[in-house]
Structure 1
Amino acid sequence: MTHSGAFMPSAAYDVAVTADIPHLLEILSKRLNNDPYAAIREYVSNAHDASRSYAASSIWIGCDDRSITIEDRGCGMTSEVIRTAFSRIGGHYKAGPNRGIGEFGLGVLTAFMIAERLVVETRSEGDAHGWRLEWLRGRQRFTLQAIPRTERGTTATLHLAEEHREMAYEPGIRDYVSRVLGLLPMPIHIGRSELPANPHHAWLTEQAPKGAGQLVSSPAAYDILRRYCQLDLIAAYGATGANGSRILLGIPSEKHCPLQRHKVQFFSRGVWVCGELAAFFPENLAFVVGVIDHPGFALQITRENLRTDRAFGEVRDSIEGHIIRFLELLGDRQPKLVTGVIETHSTMLNAHRLRQPRLRPLFRDHYRFHTSVGPKTWRELSKLAHSATVARTRHERLLFVLSESGADLQAQPMATRWGYPVVRAVNGDRDLLEDFGRSDGIEIADIGLLMKDAQDEVPEAFRGLAARLAPELHRHHVDAVKFFSLPGELLRPAELEIATVSPAHRPANETWVQVDSLMLNVAHPVVEMLAAIAPQLTNEALAEVTDALFAIAALQSPLHETQRRVTGIVVRQLLDGLEHSLGGRTAAAPRTTAQPRCFVALPYRPSFDPVWTAVREVLEAPPYGWTVIRADLDVREPSVLEGVLYHIENSRRFVADISGNSASVLIELGMMLQKDAQSTLLLADEQTFARLPADIKGAICMVYREELRNDPNEFGAWFAREILARKHFIAMHGGKALS
Structure 2
Amino acid sequence: MDSSVETLEFQAETRQLLRLVIHSIYSNKDIFLRELISNASDALDKLRLESLTDSSLTEVGTADLHIALEADQDARTLTVRDNGIGMSRDDLVDLIGTIAKSGTAGLMEKIKQSKDAATAESLIGQFGVGFYSAFMVGDKVTLLTRRAGADTGTRWESDGEGAYTIQSVDDLPVGTSVTVHLKSADSEDDLADYLSESKIRQIVKRYSDFIRWPIRMATERSDTDGTAAPAVDTLNSMKALWARPRAEVTQEEYNEFYKQLSQDWLDPAETIHMRAEGTFEYEALLFLPSQAPFDLFSQETKRGVQLYVKRVFIMDDCEALMPNYLRFVKGVVDAHDLSLNISREILQQDRQISGVRRRLVKKVLGAIKTMQANDGERYTKLWAQFGRALKEGLIEDTDNTEALLEVVSAASTNDPEKTTTLREYVERMKDGQEAIYYLTGETRATVENSPHMEALAAKGYEVLILTDPVDEVWADRVPAFDGHPLQSIAKGQVDLDEPAEGERSAEQAQREEDYAALLPWLTTTLSEHVKQVRLSSRLTTSAACIVGDAHDMTPTLEKMYRAMGQQLPPVKRTLELNPAHPLIIALRTAYEANADDPALAEIAEVIYGSALLAEGGDLPDPARFTRLLNDRLTHAL
Q: Measure how far apart 1:284 and its partner are.
A: 3.1
Specify which of 32, 45, 61 is matched with residue 69 of structure 2.
61
1:164-179 matches, within 5 Å, as 164-179=191-206
SS class of match (2:371): helix
* Amino acid in the other structure paired with 1:298: S
Q: Distance in 2 between matches of 1:106 and 1:29?
A: 11
Contact 2:391 2:404 survives alignment (8 Å): no
2:288 maps to which residue?
251
Q: Give yes or no for the alignment of 1:369 onto 2:411.
A: yes
CA deviations on 1:628-677 (whole Å, 9 max, x unpaired) are xxxxxxxxxxxxxxxxxxxxxxxxxxxxxxxxxxxxxxxxxxxxxxxxxx
State the percentage of identical aligned residues.
20
Contact 2:22 2:132 survives alignment (8 Å): no
2:164 maps to which residue?
141
Structure 2 stretches of 5 or more lacking a match? 49-61, 103-124, 185-189, 220-230, 495-514, 516-532, 544-576, 591-637
Specify which of 570, 579, 588 is matched with residue 523 of structure 1.
579
* Amino acid in the other structure paired with 2:88: T
1:295 maps to which residue?
336
Q: Distance in 1 between matches of 2:6 and 2:481?
A: 82
Distance 1:234-1:130 versus aligned 2 partners, 3 A rule: same
SS class of match (2:293): helix
Q: Measure how far apart 1:254 and its partner are.
A: 0.8
1:449-528 matches, within 5 Å, as 489-490=537-538, 523-524=579-580
1:89-104 matches, within 5 Å, as 89-90=99-100
1:118 maps to which residue?
141
Q: Measure how far apart 1:244 and its partner are.
A: 0.8
* Amino acid in the other structure paired with 1:286: R
2:26 maps to which residue?
33
SS class of match (2:134): helix
Contact 2:320 2:347 survives alignment (8 Å): no
Q: Distance in 1 between matches of 2:97 and 2:408?
A: 63
Q: Measure how far apart 1:205 and its partner are.
A: 4.2
Contact 1:58 1:189 survives alignment (8 Å): yes
Distance 1:400-1:144 versus aligned 2 partners, 3 A rule: closer
Q: Give yes or no for the alignment of 1:106 onto 2:122.
A: no
Contact 1:296 1:311 survives alignment (8 Å): no
Distance 1:117-1:488 versus aligned 2 partners, 3 A rule: closer
Q: Distance in 1 between matches of 2:581 and 2:2?
A: 118
Q: Distance in 2 between matches of 1:184 and 1:246?
A: 14
Structure 1 stretches of 5 or more lacking a match? 1-8, 93-101, 211-215, 451-458, 460-484, 500-520, 535-739
Q: Give yes or no for the alignment of 1:14 onto 2:6.
A: yes
Distance 1:525-1:264 versus aligned 2 partners, 3 A rule: closer
Q: Distance in 1 between matches of 2:159 and 2:428?
A: 82
SS class of match (1:407): helix
Q: Measure how far apart 1:235 and its partner are.
A: 2.6
* Amino acid in the other structure paired with 2:284: I
1:198 maps to which residue?
236
Q: Give yes or no for the alignment of 1:74 onto 2:96.
A: no
* Amino acid in the other structure paired with 1:68: L
SS class of match (2:356): helix
Contact 2:405 2:481 survives alignment (8 Å): no
* Amino acid in the other structure paired with 1:60: A
1:417-436 matches, within 5 Å, as 424-426=465-467, 427-429=469-471, 432=475
Q: Measure how far apart 1:168 and its partner are.
A: 0.6
* Amino acid in the other structure paired with 2:419: K
SS class of match (2:272): strand
Contact 2:447 2:465 survives alignment (8 Å): yes
Q: Measure how far apart 1:31 and its partner are.
A: 6.6
CA deviations on 1:267-308 (whole Å, 9 max, x unpaired) are 222223334355653333333344222222112334334444
Q: Measure how far apart 1:237 and its partner are.
A: 1.8
SS class of match (1:255): coil
Specify which of 351, 366, 369 is matched with residue 325 of structure 1.
366
* Amino acid in the other structure paired with 1:156: V
Q: Measure how far apart 1:179 and its partner are.
A: 1.8
SS class of match (2:177): strand
Q: Measure how far apart 1:358 and its partner are.
A: 5.1
* Amino acid in the other structure paired with 2:142: V
Q: Distance in 1 between matches of 2:193 and 2:241?
A: 32
TM-score by length of 1: 0.50
CA deviations on 1:153-189 (whole Å, 9 max, x unpaired) are 2222222112322211122122212222233332323
Q: Give yes or no for the alignment of 1:239 onto 2:239.
A: no
SS class of match (1:276): strand
Larger mean CA deviation between 221-230 and 331-340 belongs to 221-230
Q: Distance in 1 between matches of 2:386 and 2:183?
A: 52
SS class of match (1:315): helix
SS class of match (2:274): strand
* Amino acid in the other structure paired with 2:139: E
CA deviations on 1:193-250 (whole Å, 9 max, x unpaired) are 766433245445434699xxxxx97455555565556556433323234511223333
Distance 1:64-1:429 versus aligned 2 partners, 3 A rule: same
CA deviations on 1:390-435 (whole Å, 9 max, x unpaired) are xxxx999997857452636787997888766675333555765996
* Amino acid in the other structure paired with 2:67: I
CA deviations on 1:476-507 (whole Å, 9 max, x unpaired) are xxxxxxxxx9989549xxxx7899xxxxxxxx
Q: Distance in 2 between matches of 1:416 and 1:357?
A: 35
